[in-house]
Amino acid sequence: MIIDSHVHLYAPEVAADPRGWARARGEDRWVNLAAPLSGRQLQGWSDIDTLLMDMDAAGVDRAVLLGWYWDHHETCIEQNNWYIDWVRRHPDRLHAFATVQPRAGDAAENEFKRAIDAGLCGIGELSPASQGFSMEHPGWLRIAELAAERGLPVNLHVNEPVGRRHPGRLQDSLDDYVWLADRFPDLKLILAHWGGMLPFFEMNKWVGSRMGNVFYDTAASPLLYRPGIFRAVVDAIGPSRVLYGSDYPLRLYPRKQERPDFVRFLREIDAAGLSRDEKARILGENARGLLGIGGATGGVESA
């Protein structure tokens, strides 16, 4: 089973006029990444039917829709509502995480509960650096605590600490994520974009002993890293905490791709020198266990 753990999707009215839609909501940061007036345009657009067709074309069984790290609480509600609707319509293909703005305090906590009760199955993608909260912000700690209590995974956008300066790359500290894992050992944490290379710091004994519930997704990997990253991370931490995620509908190969697809990146993974078992875990089994799909953990397998 292939499960893409990192997909974003927007309602048709957003794709039709991203700048107008974002302006009306004060989401300038998002639009400057998704639809910049100048510079490299990496964002592709999709809709629910196209997503399902693209999944079929690549043999992707299920996708986990992640929310964006919005500035405003109201935008989080709007996105959660799209996802609640889409997951209800396609329960055999789609899962979705709820997004929140932790700085909204009680309102964020209530939205978290509402979205989970309505069928969403995790929290994220959140970005402390972009959304303006520290690891010790009380609103965020409450969200992390609730997620740990309920066994729900949390996906965080992690920036690479060293690299090209691009608009999506903000200053954050890998140390903060280790602090979080240490503070909430039961929290199932997914650190996106290979956790900004944090897997290699697990060689440190103290760090490594605290990361049992920390997973790393591979979102946007072709834009950031050479294919050898797959083999190197699996050699560093083993194959059980790596989750295949694409960041669809981002154009991962902007020179070769007019519109987004799942096929090219899966081909890259296929050729990355992983064993059959390692590949099976990364492409689906790890996510299946984490989300409790079709296993003893209580999920429902579809035909």
Q: Among all residues, whose Cβ is closest to Zn ion?
A: 157
Name which of 65 and 192 has its Cβ closer to Zn ion.
192
Nearer to Zn ion, 55 or 158 (CB): 158
The three-point CA angle 50-60-303 to 5° equals: 100
Nearer to Zn ion, 29 or 157 (CB): 157
Residue closer to Zn ion (CB basis): 195 or 279: 195
User: How many angstroms separate the CA atoms of 275 and 231, rounded?
Assistant: 10
Measure CA of the first residue to CA of the last residue in the chain; give whole Å: 12
| Structural tokens at position 149 | 């209590």
Question: Least distance from C-beta 301 to Zn ion, angstroms?
Answer: 29
Residue type, position 132, single letter: G
- Looking at the Cβ atoms of 104 and 192, the one nearer to Zn ion is 192
- Closest by CA to 108, choosing from 138, 136, 150, is 138
- Find the shortest distance in angstroms from Cβ 77 to Zn ion: 21
CB of 169 to Zn ion, least distance (A): 10
Distance separating alpha carbons of residues 148 and 241, to the nearest angstrom: 17
CB 240 within 8 A of CB 278: no
Per CB under 5 A, residues contacting Zn ion are 157, 192
Q: How far apart are CA 172 and CA 163, in angstroms?
A: 13
Q: How far is the CB of 296 from Zn ion (least distance, A)?
A: 31
CB of 52 to Zn ion, least distance (A): 22
Token couple for 108: 């964020």
